[in-house]
Structure formats: C-alpha cells, structure tokens
C-alpha cells in the first residue's frame, strides 16, 4: 500500500519511507491511500479472536506484504500481549482499560508496535535511526520503554520542564542506554514545534537519520485501532449499534485510529471527542472555526495540547466536510474542577478509581449519552501515575504497581534545553552517537 500526504494527495510514499520519514516532505501527515472494509466473516469471529489476532487481521492490509505476513504475525503477537478489558463502571458506562501494558498507559500499544516495525527497517547505510519525539506525559515513557535496547535506534525525548508528573518523568529519564531525555523550558507545543522544525531541516537530515514516534507517525497511530475492535468483541453483539465511544483526546491520534476503525466497518454509533480546557476541537465541532491556541496546563496533562497535529487526518478522511465530521463526532470539554469532581463522585458512587484523563472521558460520555445508549470511555492511564490528584479526591492511598516503583528508584538523567530550535540542532549535530 502507498501512503499520501494530507497536504497533497499526489505526493505518496511506500511504507518504509513513510515510517522512517515520519512527516511527508511537504510537512503533511501520511495517510493510507485506501481504507479496507472488514468482511462479515471477521465480525462473526471477532468475539473469539485474541488481541494479537485482531491486530494481524486488521493491520496486515496496511503493512503487508512490505513486511512478510509470517513476520508481521509475530510482531502483532509480541506487541499486543497484555490484557485490555472492558470493565463496567455503571449500568450504562464501561471503561476500556488500556493501562495494563509495561508503562501503564495506552501508548504502549502503538509504541511497542512501532518499535518492532521500525526494527525491520534499521538497515540504513550504517547510520543509526534517531527517533525524535515530543511528549506531554505518557508518550515519552511508552516510546522509551518500547525502543529500549533496540539495536541501531536512538530515542531523543523532548518534554516540558515541570509539566509532566514525577512518575511519568521517571519512566523515561532513568533508563539510559539508547534513550536521551531533553528537558525543555517551555510547553508541550514548544516541544512539538521543535520536533517538526527538525524534520523540515533538510541540512540536518543530510547529516543524521531522523524519524518520529509521536502519533504523527502512521505506524504509531494505526495500531491503536486494534483495541476498538477488541472492545466490541467483548460486548454483546446486539449492543454494537447502540454503543458510543468516548475518547479523551490531546493530539487526536487515538481518536483518528477509532475513526479509521469505523471506516473499516466498526459499528460504533458515534464518537465523543473529549478534551480538557484545551478545547480547540470541541469549539470547531460547534462553530466550524478551527483556531489553535497556546496550551493550558491541567491535571490531565497528557491532553494539554493547543494545536493537535492529528485532527487534520480526520478532516482528510471526511474531505474537510464539517457536516460529515459532525455526524461522526461530538465534542465536549471538561474543566479542571470537573475533572476532580468526577474522580471524587465516581469513586464514592461506584468505587471505581479514575485517573484525570479517564475522568475527562467519563464526564463527557455521561453528558452525551442518550436514552437506550451504552457507552465505553477509554481509560488511558493507570491512576497510580497521578497520585497527587487521585489521592486528594478519593482520600485513598493508591497502590503503586511494582513496575512504577522500579522507575521511581531510578536516577533522573536529562539535558536542559531552551525552546530555541538552534539549541536542539546544536545538540543533535554535535553528538557522534546520532551519526555513527
């Protein structure tokens, strides 16, 4: 399959170049030239398929035969090897728990898959592949742990100083080996801008091989569709067409994957695009006006995005037709106080512990459900990653999984960086690690 740029459908690439480039040469995002519809046989078998089998059946259309099917089957079995249960919270609402992977966040799904796909493409004239990634929280830990120790690949993570939780920070600043963390004096949007600028710097890319592991990379966001299919395999088939899915959204890669799953035939009734006070997309869905803005820090920090990169993919899928987008999506934003209130109320009433991002999803879904509908919200991170907020609202000590405790005992190692691109470029150009 070929992949085209969202800026120019006539500019296309094969899989290997699209994965390794991250961004298209014209600064567009890569999209598959064709979205297949899954056959009826797949839907009949779905409740009996494992997560890895669903990954193989749905993703092979995009990644094979560039990657041989027998190799690709091994990739999906290895990448998707932990539980993703649908857990009832109330009579109408369930959580799709995406936090049972190595770093306890949904981004383990895409990052583990991407690392294995990229390992198929590491032969590049002797030069290492350098994965440059911006994070507002969980992306950094998932990418770092997904790529840790992968031969021929360096990972450089940019994150905003003081704007990620201590647990999140420890998960990618204590690893060493092929992982480097850059602590930027700025916001996530500054980090994302630095990454995009580096990708567009032709002189720099003549010196070193750069690619992305953010959801702008098609091999990071496409595998996220797998758990939407898996969720429907866990619920009664007669409920399929009355089910609404709420996606807590920051950079909108997660929701884009869900929309593509729907294009492949997933019988979801509609999606709810839930944001914190960074409400660029809900405002657009209500008014038709799309105005990126500086990001605002919130308790749901992984969603603190004022210029979501991936929403252009959703616009492309629907040919920039607002009415078609509105038929598929509803947008709702949740304030900081509502996040805290929701954690408090849901724990008291249902004894279910939400993290701040899950609270955004639950709140928006609850407000959007109509009579006779059922809803699933994506629980994207383990509440133990946000102990300050969660423990304050539940008045309960959150038990830390052993995986998190190991990270907390590690020693932080970072390089301080300003938000000026010249500093990032100097760092990349002067390190022999990225060139040899």
For 9-42, the pLDDT digits (tens) are 999 999 999 998 888 989 899 999 999 999 999 9
Helix (H/G/I), strand (E/B), else coil: 99:
coil
Contact 268, 262 (CB under 8 A): yes
Average pLDDT over residues 66-77: 96
Domains of the chain with bracketed CATH = 84-103+225-398 (3.40.50.1100)
Q: Which token pair is 404?
A: 């998190």
Contact 80, 71 (CB under 8 A): no
Q: Which token pair is 428?
A: 């990349």
Average pLDDT over residues 77-98: 96
Strand ranges across the sheet with 30-32: 8-13, 3-5, 30-32
Asked whether the predicted pLDDT for residue 122 surpasses 80, the reply is no
Question: What region, left, alpha or beta, does residue 264 occupy, with left being phi > 0 and alpha being psi -120 to 50 degrees?
Answer: alpha
H helices then E strands: how many in the chain? 20, 14
Strands (E), 166-295: 179-184, 209-212, 243-248, 270-275
Asked whether the predicted pLDDT for residue 141 surpasses 90, the reply is no
pTM flag (> 0.95)? no
CA dihedral angle for residue 367, residue 369, residue 371, residue 375, rounded to 10 degrees = -140
Helix (H/G/I), strand (E/B), else coil: 12:
strand
- pLDDT category at 150 given cuts 50, 70, 90 is confident
Q: Which token pair is 26?
A: 């014209």
- pLDDT category at 436 given cuts 50, 70, 90 is low
Q: What percent of the chain has pLDDT above 70? A: 98
Asked whether the predicted pLDDT for residue 252 surpasses 60, the reply is yes
Nearest to 255 by CA among 230, 268, 273: 273
β-pair partners for 205: none
Between 420 and 163, whose confidence is greater?
420
Q: Cα-atom radius of gyration of the chain, to the nearest Å? A: 20
- pLDDT category at 357 given cuts 50, 70, 90 is very high
Alpha-carbon distance of 28 to 58, in angstroms, equals 24
Nearest to 134 by CA among 196, 89, 66, 85: 196
Alpha-carbon distance of 52 to 102, in angstroms, equals 16
Q: How many CB atoms are located within 10 Å of the residue 306 CB?
A: 18
Asked whether the predicted pLDDT for residue 435 surpasses 70, the reply is no
- Across 84-98, 108-122, 386-400, which has the greatest mean pLDDT? 84-98
pLDDT tens readout for residues 371-414 = 999 999 999 999 998 988 999 999 999 888 877 777 777 888 99
Q: What percent of the chain has pLDDT above 90? A: 67
What pLDDT score does 432 carry?
64
pLDDT tens readout for residues 156-167 = 999 999 888 888
Average pLDDT over residues 230-250: 94
Start-to-end C-alpha separation, the chain: 32
Asked whether the predicted pLDDT for residue 83 surpasses 60, the reply is yes
The per-residue pLDDT of the chain, averaged, comes to: 92
pLDDT tens readout for residues 270-323 = 999 999 999 999 999 999 999 999 889 899 988 999 999 899 999 999 999 999
Q: Residue 157 carries which DSSP code?
A: E
- pLDDT category at 125 given cuts 50, 70, 90 is low
Catalytic option among 9, 16, 107, 370: 107
pLDDT tens readout for residues 182-223 = 999 998 889 989 998 998 898 998 888 888 887 889 999 999
Q: Which token pair is 225?
A: 């569709």
What pLDDT score does 401 carry?
83
Q: Residue 102 carries which DSSP code?
A: T
Q: Residue 28 carries which DSSP code?
A: P
Nearest to 13 by CA among 290, 219, 250: 219
Average pLDDT over residues 169-174: 88
Q: Residue 4 carries which DSSP code?
A: E
107 is a catalytic site residue: yes
């Amino acid at each position: 399959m070929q992949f085209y740029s969202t800026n120019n459908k006539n500019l296309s690439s094969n899989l290997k170049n699209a994965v390794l480039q991250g961004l298209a040469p014209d600064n567009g995002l890569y999209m598959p030239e064709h979205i297949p519809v899954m056959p009826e046989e797949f839907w009949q078998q779905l409740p009996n398929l494992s997560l890895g089998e669903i990954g193989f059946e749905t993703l092979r259309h995009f990644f094979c035969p560039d990657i041989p099917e027998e190799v690709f089957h091994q990739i999906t079995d290895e990448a998707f090897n932990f539980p993703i249960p649908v857990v009832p919270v109330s009579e109408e609402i369930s959580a799709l728990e995406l936090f049972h992977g190595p770093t306890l966040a949904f981004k383990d799904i895409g990052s583990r898959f991407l690392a294995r796909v990229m390992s198929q493409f590491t032969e590049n004239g002797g030069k290492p592949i350098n994965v440059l990634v911006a994070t507002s929280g969980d992306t950094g830990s998932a990418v770092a742990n997904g790529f840790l120790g992968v031969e021929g690949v360096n990972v450089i993570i940019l994150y905003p100083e003081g704007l990620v939780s201590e647990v999140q920070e420890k998960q990618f600043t204590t690893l060493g080996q092929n992982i480097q963390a850059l602590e930027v004096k700025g916001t996530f949007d500054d980090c994302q801008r630095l990454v995009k600028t580096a990708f567009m710097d032709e002189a720099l890319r003549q010196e070193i091989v750069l690619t992305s592991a953010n959801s702008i990379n098609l091999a990071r966001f496409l595998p996220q569709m797998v758990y939407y299919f898996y969720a429907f395999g866990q619920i009664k088939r007669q409920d399929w067409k009355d089910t609404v899915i709420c996606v807590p959204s920051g950079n909108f890669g997660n929701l884009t994957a869900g929309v593509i799953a729907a294009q492949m035939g997933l019988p979801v009734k509609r999606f709810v695009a839930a944001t914190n006070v960074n409400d660029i997309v809900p405002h657009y869905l209500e008014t038709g006006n799309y105005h990126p803005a500086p990001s605002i820090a919130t308790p749901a920090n992984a969603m603190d995005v004022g210029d979501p990169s991936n929403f252009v993919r959703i616009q492309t899928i629907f040919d920039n037709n607002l009415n078609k987008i509105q038929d598929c999506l509803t947008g709702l934003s949740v304030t900081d106080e509502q996040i805290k209130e929701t954690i408090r109320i849901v724990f008291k009433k249902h004894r279910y512990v939400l993290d701040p991002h899950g609270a955004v999803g639950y709140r928006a879904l609850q407000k959007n459900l109509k009579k006779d509908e059922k809803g699933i919200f994506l629980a994207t991170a383990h509440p133990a990653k946000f102990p300050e907020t969660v423990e304050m609202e539940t008045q309960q000590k959150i038990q830390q999984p052993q995986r998190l405790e190991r990270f907390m005992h590690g020693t932080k190692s970072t390089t301080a960086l300003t938000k000026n691109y010249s500093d990032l470029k100097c760092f990349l150009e002067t390190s022999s690690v990225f060139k040899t």
